Chains A and B, each alone.
Chain A
């Protein structure tokens, strides 16, 4: 006869175990890690280009650039001055998982870096379930996407610690209400640290730079 057998195990326990090991290794090496998530085209790569261009002189940053296909983003980050860039091509998978990060870290000398930036696959749904061992998630949205984005993707916005609203320079051309966007985000996550910027014009980037040097919530 069939018996009911208690399992009580997280479905992603395998991923979480690997993520915990990554987190421990990064902390042992005093490395701060950020996982950048957004829809495709919100400006993750642009933000990272700017950030490594500015911080790269003083802080050694390791970069893991995830994409479904191509190493284009990784190449952009190298061109922007990223010395330690590891591309991860998922070959169709819609998110990065901890195993991919663990593999990417295999040939990355952790003693040489002080920060690790992970650029996730452009997707606001799937990456929310996967812990990569990062200290915090940074979620980007841009003014061309609509101010209700946080309401549409609550899981991702709830799990992120920082929100960036990018492409401020396009604000005059969009039906985007900044105050509504902020309120929508704070309804989901009252502790959000919010930055407004334009990676294109540089507007708002100074505030971001001074925070990201020593990111704390």
Chain B
């Protein structure tokens, strides 16, 4: 259940950013979670609700976008969707595959009142 720790990192990062940028209350947080990160969206949402209670982010909406795993063959250059975590090139059958997406754990954007505007 490391989603709670991940949620705490989201909260800390967002509160720091909001303070640094002099933002008003944060209404929404949009995060990207790669499909190969072992972070479960429902557990993350639950962790966020628990960890944000009694903070300035209580009630803030957490939007989680799941990013599929995409690979690129280092042998023939073919890009492809990695199904069921099988990193084998569908064209040349090479096992030498670079993961181009699917490992994300990013805060993409937030929605808040921008007091500087």
Q: How many A-B residue pairs have CB under 8 A?
A: 110
Q: How many A residues touch the partner, as a band? A: 35 or more
Taking CB as reference atom, which chain B residue is nearest A156?
B38
B106 contact from A5, A10, A186, A187, Cβ within 8 A? A10
**In this assembly, does A51 line the interface, its C-beta being within 8 Å of a C-beta of chain B?**
no
**In this assembly, does B100 line the interface, its C-beta being within 8 Å of a C-beta of chain A?**
no
**In this assembly, does A155 line the interface, its C-beta being within 8 Å of a C-beta of chain B?**
yes
Expressed in whole angstroms, the Cα–Cα distance for A155 and B1 within the complex equals 15
Q: B31–A188 contact, CB under 8 A? A: no
**In this assembly, does B39 line the interface, its C-beta being within 8 Å of a C-beta of chain A?**
yes
**In this assembly, does B97 line the interface, its C-beta being within 8 Å of a C-beta of chain A?**
yes
Query: Interface SS of chain B: helix, strand, loop or mixed?
Result: mixed
Expressed in whole angstroms, the Cα–Cα distance for A28 and B17 within the complex equals 33
Q: A12–B9 contact, CB under 8 A? A: yes
Q: How many residues of B contact A (CB 8 A)?
A: 40
Kindly provide the distance from the CB of B62 to the nearest chain A CB, expressed in whole angstroms.
Answer: 12
Q: A9–B2 contact, CB under 8 A? A: no
**In this assembly, does A57 line the interface, its C-beta being within 8 Å of a C-beta of chain B?**
no
Return chain A residues, CB-CB under 8 Å to B106. Answer: 8-11
Q: B107–A7 contact, CB under 8 A? A: yes
Given A93-B5, A188-B86, does the pair A13, B13 have CB atoms closer than 8 Å? yes
Kindly provide the distance from the CB of B97 to the nearest chain A CB, expressed in whole angstroms.
Answer: 6
Expressed in whole angstroms, the Cα–Cα distance for A13 and B84 within the complex equals 28
Return chain B residues, CB-CB under 8 Å to A95. Answer: 2, 5
Interface string of A132-160 (1 = CB under 8 A from B): 00000000000000000001011110100
Q: A151–B85 contact, CB under 8 A? A: yes
Taking CB as reference atom, which chain B residue is nearest A159?
B103
Expressed in whole angstroms, the Cα–Cα distance for A158 and B21 within the complex equals 37
Q: B113–A188 contact, CB under 8 A? A: no
Kindly provide the distance from the CB of B107 to the nearest chain A CB, expressed in whole angstroms.
Answer: 5
Return chain B residues, CB-CB under 8 Å to A126. Answer: 1-2, 5, 38
Taking CB as reference atom, which chain A residue is nearest B12?
A14
Contacts A94-B1, A190-B97 supplied; 12 other A-B pairs, CB < 8 Å: A2-B111, A5-B110, A7-B108, A10-B106, A11-B10, A11-B105, A125-B38, A155-B38, A156-B38, A158-B36, A187-B86, A187-B87
A-B contact pairs, 24 of them (CB 8 A): A1-B113, A2-B111, A3-B114, A4-B111, A5-B114, A6-B109, A9-B17, A11-B10, A11-B13, A11-B31, A14-B12, A15-B9, A126-B5, A126-B38, A129-B2, A129-B38, A151-B84, A153-B38, A155-B37, A158-B99, A187-B88, A188-B86, A189-B87, A191-B96
